[in-house]
Amino acid sequence: LVLILDYGSQYTHLITRRIRKLSIFSLCISGTSPLQSIADLNPRVVILSGGPHSVHADAAPSFPEGFVDYVEAKGVFVLGICYGLQLIVQKLGGEVRIGDRQEYGRMEIEVTARASGLFGSKEVGDRQSVWMSHGDEAVRLPDGFAVVAKSDQGGIAAIENRERRFYGLQYHPEVTHSPEGMETLRYFLFNVCGVTADWNMEDVMEEEIKTIKALVGPEDHVICALSGGVDSTVAATLVHKAIGDRLHCIFVDNGLLRYKERERVMETFETDLHLPVTCVDATKQFLGNLKGIVDPETKRKIIGREFISIFDMFAQDLEHKLGKRPNFLVQGTLYPDIIESCPPPGSGRTHSHTIKSHHNVGGLPKDMKLKLIEPLKLLFKDEVRELGKILNVPQGFLKRHPFPGPGLAVRVLGDVTEGNALEILRQVDEIFIQSIKDAGLYDSIWQAFAVFLPIKSVGVQGDKRTHSHVVALRAVTSQDGMTADWYNFEHKFLDDVARKICNSVRGVNRVVQDITSKPPSTIEWE
Ligand code: XMP
């Protein structure tokens, strides 16, 4: 295991993912975790991540008391990256100075010791372009440490103490702006630390199935709410493989789904995946309760509440049928939702393991007392897709753009029941998405959709003036949905789409495009 201690760098997850791409199992925990948590995981290598803090700050996060003794006693290798390097230097008796020479962005470094454990690979050059982002710098190394690379500015770029198995890089090897960084990490992990490449998705699947079988007794029943998204579908398919039809899934048509969504996802669930799914048509219940509601937060609350009541009814019906209440619930929680870290103050990142705040069923009845099964909780999104592929989830389904739990309710601004807003939106959205697919752009875009605006504008269609609806198109690229950039379509593409929408969707005479990124906007409009 390669264990990453997180000190809040925006790249920490990337280190974990990159190491897993080398087929090495890697986990990430808070950089201030107690020694016991580290020892329990019995790592072969510990990587201390970068972070926005200064080692001189009052509350500077650090590894726990006894960490250095522990790693030395156990022969664990330690690699510090950026802040991690500075922690090693400061804690082992060297000196880190505050912000004299600041190095940000692309920098050139010179390897000064080719025989070093960090630069032993024949594939890396003596001179390298690397990505730096630090204010503080190490100015005096602890006894026994050597500088093995310097920046062109004269700063320390890499250090090591082979005997004590401590290494450090002042730059970020995990980002693509350090082109030789991955080879450096690969060589270090395999050739210096002796880690083996034995982590793969087939084994993960088998392990998970074993765990689920051991957890769920032969009389137990499990429920799962399918949203139509990748995570819940892959989670349910995995659990189904483990316990068969003691899994009971529900898919709710809340009247806020996209064009032919219900038919499309039910076909995948039933025909491709053979999942036991009950499809509940709750259109009237949801839309009835949303009538006249314009406040976005109130809309979301109502939707969450209705989901809970339907879920509760589903559980009660099952209890009648089975003679006992289901006692487990499957959730498609992913690793980024549960990673504990040392986030910088004010970053909005949290420490705790909470049930997904964007949870698709909008929370659960408090008295249900279900035990959770979260079979994807150690995986990143791309790994879930890989697992889905092994489980025969159709490729087209695995690549679907994210879709919010409250559905089109957050894309019809204001009262969703007003006129035929939902119907218009479905048609516009379908034209937009289909055009994106036809142009071969779907997989390069994180999310694309249309929004129905609560305004009318004047147009001229045929020989008549019209007073009709305005729709907005939104498409963004993103890594994780936390930040996003608006997608820049070609002029001709936009022209064709706008023409097609106005010509084929009755009641629309104007199409606009959303050209804001996140921040300042959110991806959804409500
Ligand atoms: P925002 O709009 O906050 O969205 O920038 C970030 C990502 O989250 C999705 N989203 C949701 N997903 N339930 C969900 O399951 C929700 O209530 C919800 N609200 C936003 C959004 O589509 C984007 O991918």
How far is 110 from 116, CA to CA, in rounded Å? 13
Quote the DSSP letter at residue 505: S
Using alpha carbons, list the distances in angstroms from residue 60 to 13, 47, 183, 293: 20, 17, 31, 47
The pLDDT value given to residue 481: 85
> Could you read off the pLDDT of 295-322 as tens digits, one per residue?
999 999 999 999 999 999 999 999 999 9
Amino acid code (one letter) for 285: Q
Torsions phi, psi of 248, nearest 5?
-130, 115
Residue to mutate (ligand 1; options 524, 525, 526; most atoms within 8 A of CB): 524
Distance from the CA of 218 to the center of ligand 1, in angstroms?
37
Supply the pLDDT for residue 365: 60
Going by C-beta distance under 8 Å and a sequence separation of 6 or more, which residues neighbour residue 89? 95, 96, 138, 140, 141, 142, 145, 159, 168
**How far does residue 523's CA lie from ligand 1's centre (Å)?**
7
Q: Which of 13, 28, 53, 82 is catalytic?
A: 82
Res 341: pLDDT? 67
Q: How many CA atoms lie within 13 A of 184 on its CB side?
A: 32
Nearest CA to ligand 1 atom 3: 522
Q: Domain extents for the chain? A: 2-192, 201-398, 413-513
Q: What is the pLDDT of residues 311-361, one digit of tens each?
A: 999 999 999 999 999 999 999 999 888 876 676 666 555 443 333 334 444
CATH of segment(s) 201-398: 3.40.50.620
Q: What is the pLDDT of residue 363?
A: 53
- Cα 284 to Cα 242: distance, rounded to the nearest angstrom: 36
Question: Which residue of the set 172, 248, 359, 469 is catalytic?
Answer: 172
DSSP per-residue string spanning 83-135: HHHHHHHHHTT-EEESSSS-EEEEEEEEES-TTSSSS--TTS-SEEEEEEEES
Tell me how far the alpha carbon of residue 405 lies from the centroid of ligand 1, in angstroms. 8
Mean pLDDT, range 468-483, rounded to an integer: 92
Residues 282 and 271 sit within 8 Å (Cβ to Cβ): no
Indicate if 201-398 has the same CATH topology as 2-192. Answer: yes
Residue with tokens 């034209």: 431
In which band, very low, low, confident or very high, does the pLDDT at 135 lie, cut at 50, 70 and 90? confident
CA of 517 to the centre of ligand 1 (A): 15
Structural contact between residues 276 and 247, judged by C-beta atoms closer than 8 angstroms: yes
User: DSSP secondary-structure letter at 246?
Assistant: G
User: Ligand 1 — pocket residues by CB below 6 A?
Assistant: 358, 360, 402, 404-406, 447, 481, 518, 522-524
The closest-lying atom of ligand 1 relative to the alpha carbon of residue 360 is 15
Is there a binding annotation on residue 232? yes
Contact 140, 126 (CB under 8 A): no
Q: In this prediction, what percent of the chain has a pLDDT beyond 90? A: 86
Residue 351 known to be catalytic: no
Q: How confident is the model at residue 26 (pLDDT cuts 50, 70, 90)?
A: very high
Residue 368 is encoded by which pair of tokens?
């249900």
HSE-CB at 118 with a 13 A cutoff on CA atoms is 31
Closest residue by Cα to residue 505 from 461, 454, 448, 458: 461
pLDDT, position 362: 45
Q: 2-192: what CATH class?
A: alpha beta
The whole-number average pLDDT for the span 74-81 is: 98
pLDDT at position 447 is 97
∠ CA(267), CA(272), CA(275), 5° rounding? 80
Checking if the pLDDT of 483 tops 80, the result is yes
- Alpha-carbon dihedral sign for residues 402, 406, 407, 410: negative
Burial degree of 190 (CB within 10 A; 0-12, 13-18, 19+):
middle
231 marked as part of a ligand binding site: yes
Active-site annotation holds for 174: yes
Q: Say whether 31 sits in a helix, a strand or coil.
A: coil
pLDDT tens for residues 142-173? Answer: 999 999 999 998 899 999 999 999 999 999 99
- pLDDT at residue 107 above 80? yes
The topology (CATH level 3) of 413-513 is: GMP Synthetase; Chain A, domain 3 (3.30.300)
- Measured CA to CA, the distance from residue 497 to residue 512 in angstroms comes to 11
Asked if 498 and 511 touch (Cβ cutoff 8 Å), the reply is yes
- Least-confidence region, from 100-114, 184-198, 402-416: 100-114
pLDDT tens track for 417-470: 999 999 999 999 999 999 999 999 999 999 999 999 999 999 998 889 999 999
Distance CA(431)–CA(425), nearest Å, equals 10
The Cα–Cα gap between 376 and 411 comes to 29
230 labelled as ligand-binding?
yes
What lies within 8 Å, CB to CB, of 158 at 6+ separation is 109, 111, 116, 118, 119, 147, 148, 149, 167, 168, 169, 170
Selection from 178, 166, 187, 90 nearest residue 133 by Cα: 178
Sign of CA dihedral 120, 126, 129, 135: positive
Strand 26-30 and strand 77-81: the pairing is: unpaired
Give me Rg for the CA atoms of the chain.
27
pLDDT of residue 48: 98
CB neighbourhood size of 416 (10 A): 27
Instruction: Give this prediction's pTM.
Output: 0.85
Q: Closest by alpha carbon to 182, among 2, 383, 4, 18?
A: 18
**514 marked ligand binding residue:** no
